[in-house]
Structure 1
Amino acid sequence: MDVPSIITEITSTRQGNAPKYDEGHVALALITIKENQPIGRISLMKKVGLKEASMKTLIRRMKELGLVETDKIGGTVLTEKGESILDQILKRVAVKQVTLKSIGWDSYGILLRGGESLLRQHGVLELRDEVIKQGAERVLIAVFENGKIEIPPKTDDMAMGNLLQEISEAFKEAKEGDMAIFITPQDLRLALKVSVKILENVNVA
């Protein structure tokens, strides 16, 4: 199963009951386990921001799919499959806190490898609306093309000089054809949710 299929399975409604977590919680749980393994359920619950019943459901579903192993004494660890799924996500997207002083935003920035193709396919307005649909309040989209940063639909280098510099400094690792999405509020779970939803719509080598 690919990343979107696995995340969909973990967040799916079963027997009429929808889990009280989303794609962002799943990605955050994988990252948190990776950084703290072995980790106990209570600690994981607090770091991911879920109640105990929801955390139990999430761990059980990840275990069913072979992403984690649990031990009553040691806690939860990622399996080789879990490591692979997380690596696939992190190879495609980079997420970090970014302050865009020129426009007064404390945001999370999402760098999508090869994301320019998604922008061409859907257009900036449709893509922005989809990100807002996931819970973002404000969205700024930029692409790295022709050796510079563009903010569609039109980039005014004179008026946007400071903003373009801030975007460049935020993602120094960006390459030609990458796309950056900046969102508020500054919420890691939300940024990860947006990242996973975007990955459902784009194939990146």
Structure 2
Amino acid sequence: MSYARKLPGYLVNRFRGWRATHYAENKSWFRHLAQEGQHPRSMLIACCDSRVHVTAIFGADQGEFFIHRNIANLVPPYTPDGDHHGTSAAVEYAVTALKVAHLLVVGHSNCGGVRGCHDMCAGKAPELASGSSFVGNWMEILRPGYEATAEFTDPEARIAAMEKQAVRISINNLMTFPFVKDAVENETLTLHGLWHDIGEGGLEAYDPETDSFASVL
């Protein structure tokens, strides 16, 4: 463990401030969470992007959401091949152990992962297409979204469309998991697709009847 270093001073100071204020004012609630375990109503699958503050968007407190984040908020198809599947494991735990009632996939504007997928599929990012890139291999999940947006001649418009394709693909892939499909069909779980506009503070929801996204406002 010789590679680990002390926590930076600014993070130590922030922790001390949090413990002296938010924790001190809500100590009984934190004790309750620790003793009773977690019982979240919903799972959120969001992007790793530091600008996407999913708990703040919904004004959530500790214990409300079971959250999984990855590059471009993608869900792979059900593939029980014995390899490591962090996203699949998180979905399984949320649905079968925590029995969440809602599962939300949250995409967002200006997604770097989606842009990387676009560039890789367009032949402009050989480092991602090399086969040795973890990001490139992961973004192959979104390749059908690149192919589905071929009508866009403007790269920026195509990337924006791919951001919403990432949500569609993830929702469809979720339904390949037997335990998700069973929960949805038994009406104990609902799936939701969202897209967040970072700059405008907007939120759009996917409507399967129109196959489009519309503002929730």
TM over 0.5: no
Question: What TM-score does the superposition give when structure 1 sets the normalisation length?
Answer: 0.28
Larger radius of gyration, structure 1 or 2?
2
Question: What TM-score does the superposition give when structure 2 sets the normalisation length?
Answer: 0.27
